[in-house]
Structure 1
Amino acid sequence: MSQIALPLEQKIPPGQGGYLVTPANEDIHCQLQNWRDWAHHTLILTGPAASGKSTMAASFAAESGGLVVDDARAHEDAEIFHLWNRANMEERPLLLVSEQPVPEWGVTLPDLKSRLAASLHLDIGAPDQAMIEGLLQKYFALRGLTISDDALRYLEKRMVRSYDMVRQLAQKMDSLAIASRKPINLGIAKAALDHFDDGDEKVEI
């Protein structure tokens, strides 16, 4: 599968399920495409909020017909154990999704512990520059807006590299642009970032 090209005016290629693929998550994307090769037909996907896990899972389910358990930590041991066995018996892929790594799930069933330990584990790391740029462009494109190149460069050099911060900054810039009736420009980007650095201090935009 091809990697998304930026800027966002170029549409996401079919088969990428509506999520962006950059070097930050390219290995995970490839593994989701190669589900036939999973050890024990199971993949455990972990990562922070807003990192695209649910969108990836939905795309995987549509393309593979596999089983998906979102927020796997919240499910009973017996349920996960049954699904793991079913996946192996039917040779049908099982994707377990969680924000927390397996050691934090509180699994007490010994047989399930051993099965999860033998399964493939992947964790979504921090977004890279291309991911941050693509996510911000996508957020505003869906609202019929654009973000200026100098605003993107400013944020990429100074912001905390996390998916949640991308989401929070996008929402803050959106609200500031509406309030000031201005486009998403460098002034808006500075004001949004200053909001998270210094609280609600007023900044000229």
Structure 2
Amino acid sequence: MSQIALPLEQKPSPDQGGYLVTAANAEVHRHLQNWQDWVHHTLILTGPEASGKTTMAAAFEAESGGLSLDDAADHKDTEIFHLWNRANSEQKPLLILAAKPVSEWGITLPDLKSRLAASLHVEIGAPDQAMIDGLFQKYFAIRGLTISQDALRYLEKRMVRSYAMVLELAQKWTR
């Protein structure tokens, strides 16, 4: 009898072990650990889809007591500006997440533009080999599955090397 993996869409969460740290995101991790040193107490974190931004934000909020805004490019200028002011009035660090750089958000509010320009910007790099291996292992473990090293090598030689592709392949894999 073989095990059947149900095609349930699952994403890792902080209570399932947080996020992986490799060379691909080591700089981001360093900045998140040192949030007390952020210029204007704000960090703008950009990176590709499925690169762990939301998971990193949850870990950051739990550790620092700070605030975060996911998919900032999809929010109105006034929403971002009010959250900025709230974070400053409450003296909390603010982590702003987006898939694309600030220059592509279409910000028109001058005060917000200047504040964002003066903030620390960090980008998550493309996944390296260690990140791809670790993510496959993590996604499979979440689904109660394992993957052999041979299967990993087979997939890695034939896949587009992106965070989103690792997630997609892991979700589609069945035994």
Q: TM-score range by the shorter chain?
A: 0.7 to 0.9
RCO (CA 8 Å, sep 6+): is it higher in 1 or 2?
Answer: 2
Cα displacement (A) at 1:57: 0.4
CA-to-partner distance for each residue in 1:16-63, whole Å, 9 max, x for gaps?
Answer: 961111111111011111000000100011112111111100110011
1:19 is paired with a residue whose SS is coil
Gaps of 5+ in 2: 1-13
Cα separation, 1, equivalents of 2:155 and 2:145: 17
Instruction: Say whether residues 1:93 and 2:65 are aligned partners.
Output: no
d(CA) in 2 for partners of 1:16, 1:35 = 23
Q: TM-score, normalised by structure 2?
A: 0.85
Using the size of structure 1 for normalisation, the TM-score is 0.73
Correspondence for 1:43: 43
Q: Are 2:64 and 1:64 equivalent residues in the alignment?
A: yes
Aligned length: 162
SS across alignment from 1:97: strand
State how 1:22-171 maps to structure 2 within 5 Å. Answer: 22-171=22-171
Q: What RMSD over aligned residues (CA atoms) do the two structures have, in Å?
A: 2.0
Gaps of 5+ in 1: 1-13, 178-205
- Counterpart Cα distance in 1 of 2:16 and 2:86: 27
Q: Deviations over 1:56-86 (max 9, x none)?
A: 0011001101011111122221221232234
Q: Secondary structure at the match of 1:126?
A: coil
User: CA, structure 1 residues 16+28, in 2 after alignment: closer, same or farther (shift >3 Å)?
Assistant: farther
Give 1:109 deviation, angstroms. Answer: 0.6
Identical columns (%): 75
Q: Which runs of 4+ in 1 moved over 6 A?
A: none
The change in CA–CA distance for 1:161 and 1:105 in structure 2 (over 3 A counts) is same
Aligned residue type for 1:45: L
Structure whose CA Rg is larger: 1
| Residue deviations 1:149-194 (CA, integer Å, cap 9, x gap) | 11112222332110111011112223xx2xxxxxxxxxxxxxxxxx
